[in-house]
Structure formats: structure tokens, C-alpha cells
Amino acid sequence: MAVAAEATPAVAAGSEHGSAVPPGAGPPGGRIGSGGSSADALDVSRRPARRARRALPLAAAVLAASALTGTGTAWSMSEPPTPTPTAPRAGLRVAASTPTSALLPGTSCRAFPTDSWWHADVSHLAVSTRSAQWLAHMQVGTRRLHADFGPSYGAQPVPYGIPITYVNAAPRVAVSFGYPAESDKVRYPLGTSTLIEGGSAASGDRHAIVVDKATCTLFETWDTRRTASGWYAGSGAVWSLTSDALRPAGWTSADAAGLPILPGLLRYDEVVAGHVDHAIRFTTNVTDRTYLWPARHQAGSVSDRSYPPMGARFRLKASYPISSFSAQEQVVLRAMKTYGLVLADNGSPWFFQGTSDTRWSSTLVSDLARVPASAFEAVDTAPLMISSSSGAARRL
């Protein structure tokens, strides 16, 4: 099913958020990003990656940002977010790449249409006027990239990363949600073969990402658990992979930004194939209580627009040299120059996410940690927006 595209005003803070949460799921007051020391990304070859913890969905406590990257009007509860599409700026160069959307492994499904914002080339977009301010609050002086996936060094029974489960018209079951107001209350194809982030006994975010190959439908849940009384998840969201429809404005998903997780995961198959055709999701520890199109939700801890909002997009600077990296590492870095990183959740700064896969090498993980956070810049994605209620992006 496709989630409704029309925006709805955010509801009052705290409404529908008093539901009981099972033991171990965290208090209803919030899940705070793990942050971490400045050494987190410097020596990943010697220690397990620190798992990013996302912030509690704050259904509506909330200031929703306009789609103008860092320069638009912040919307209050009495003024629901209805940004006006922005025309392309005069003098923008034509993007060199034609958008693509590769088939997901073993399916006839793509990770959203080729015109999706996820597949938009941002290499020619203007630098955001907020770039320097945002970066100043993201520890760029000490941080480096951290691949939040790969070998777990015995810290957990499965590799780090978020696994994807592929099913074919599998039976669907009812799910009880901790935060039902912003969850898609349909049946989900969860079962004994469903892969859970961190493994079945994990204590972290426990994301479950399921693709039904028969219908090209994406199901995503957070804090996913099978209990004595049935399946439980903190929240759940469903998308049609053939549609650019967004969630209602102000709604979370299995991700703090209200975006799907799947299209932002770096996958081993695409790196080996030599081309990554989408933005990659990443985290930082302190975010503003606003969000930018096509994000639908904020989970910030400050009301300060000098901090980055959910949905902010960053790219690796064109001038950053990558010739010293391996061929596969260059595939990843070229994607970061072309499609960039999207801020999708709270967690340790500059941790970017990929799939849980035994084939990821520790060398790739450690080599990518050579890239300093200072090599990135935020871009103004406002010219990409065609409609505030759609994730389709204008090709520039």
C-alpha cells in the first residue's frame, strides 16, 4: 500500500504517545542519540562500531521547516508546513548524470522511482547558506566518516548494519504499536525468518526492513519484537516502491525523519556492481526541531536553526581526492559526491548506514574512516522540489 501523500497538521505534543512500551524498549520520554567520543570514527578496524540510537518520535511537538534549505520560514503548530515549490535558480549547470534506480537483488522492484529525491544528482546544487553553521555543530574538527555496518568483531551474532528481508507474498500478521498515532496500522509480513537489526536478542534499534517482491511493497518497523501476545513494534511504516508518495506531514516512520530507511542503505551488491545511485542515510547527535522536504518529522533537542534539521543533505566536496582509495571505496565516495548523505536520524555524528552483510570487508570500513567530516558541505535542495507532498525531484 502507498502511504497517503497529503500533509496533515501535527497534533498536540504528547497526544497518542502515552501508550505502554514493553520492557527494554525505553521510556516514553525519549530515546537520545548516543553521541560518543571524538575517537569513535578514528580506529574502527580495532573495535566494534557504536550503535546509533534514534530519538523518540515527537509527533508534533514540533516546528516543521519549509523546504527552503536553511533560509525558509519555520512553521509552528498553528501553521502546518505547506512550502511553496521553488523554481530552479538561474545559472545552475545541467546535472551530468541521468537518474537511475537499480533493481533490488532478486526482485523486479526498484528502491523507488528514478525521479525520486533519493536518486537526484546534487553535485551541481548550490551550497546551503546554513552549511557552515550546521557543520560547526557536527564535530567536523575531530570527526571522520564511520561506516555503521560491517564485521561486528564478536560483539553481536550478526554483522553490523540493517538487514533487508525479501519475501514473496508472505502471510501478514497484526502488529501492536507503541506509538500508533503515526504508524500505518495494516498487517505486516513478519515471521520467524524476519531479520532484525543486531540479531533476535539485540537491545538496540531493532529495525526490520521487509520487501514483498510480489507487490514491490516496503514494510519498515522500529523496535521490532515477537512477544507472547504477538508482534510488537515501536512504530511502523509502509510504502509502495513504485510511488513517490510521502507520509503525512509531521509523521515519523521507522526513522526519525519520517523517511524510508531502505533507499538510504549502502548495499554490498551495488558497490560490487560499480555504481551506487542514491543518497546514503547518516546520523548526528544534536538536531534542530525542524525538518526539510522530503523529510516529514523532526526529533530535535534544540530550537536553533544553526543546527542541522532532519532531511538536510550533505555532499562530499568535488575537490576531495579519492584516487588513493580502492575501486570499491571509490564507488562509495563517488556516490557521496553525486548523491550525498541525508540526515535521517539522531545518533553518533557522521555514522552512515549500510546493510548487514557478511561480505563487507574490514578494510573498506576502516579505509572510509580516512575521510574527514570537514570534506563535506551542505547543499540547498529546495530547487529539486516539485510538490511538497511528493518525493519526486526536479532534474536540474
Write down the domain spans for the chain: 35-78+95-157+256-396
Give the pLDDT of residue 195: 98
95: pLDDT confidence band, cut at 50, 70 and 90? very low
What torsion do the CA atoms of 348, 352, 354, 360 make, to the nearest 10 degrees?
-90
Quote the cell numbers at residue 192: 520467524
- Residue 377 is given by DSSP the state E
Give the pLDDT of residue 382: 98
Quote the cell numbers at residue 24: 527494554
Judge whether residue 6 has pLDDT over 80.
no
Least reliable range by pLDDT among 11-15, 309-313, 336-340: 11-15
Decide: 220 and 345 in contact? Cβ < 8 Å: no
Element (H, E) at 280: strand 280-284
- Residue 86 is given by DSSP the state P
In which residue are the cell numbers 524510508 written? 260
Q: Is 154 exposed, middle or buried (0-12, 13-18, 19+ CB in 10 A)?
A: exposed
Quote the cell numbers at residue 231: 508482534
Judge whether residue 310 has pLDDT over 70.
yes
Give the chain's mean pLDDT. 82
Quote the cell numbers at residue 313: 543533505
Other C-beta atoms within 10 Å of 274: how many?
11
Decide: 186 and 24 in contact? Cβ < 8 Å: no
Rounded to two decimals, the pTM is: 0.80
Other C-beta atoms within 10 Å of 334: how many?
17
98: pLDDT confidence band, cut at 50, 70 and 90? confident
Q: Is 370 exposed, middle or buried (0-12, 13-18, 19+ CB in 10 A)?
A: middle
**Contacts with 319 (C-beta within 8 Å, 6 or more apart), sequence order:** none
Q: By C-alpha distance, which of 155, 128, 130 is closest to 49?
A: 155
Which residues are registered as beta bridge partners of 342? 281, 313
* Residue bearing the bigger pLDDT, 296 or 13: 296
Tell me: the pLDDT tens digits for 267-287? Answer: 999 999 999 999 999 999 999
Quote the cell numbers at residue 199: 540479531
What is the percent of the chain where pLDDT is above 70?
76
Torsions phi, psi for 171 (to 5 deg):
-60, 150
Other C-beta atoms within 10 Å of 196: how many?
25
What is the percent of the chain where pLDDT is above 90?
74
> What's the sign of the alpha-carbon dihedral 337, 342, 347, 352?
negative
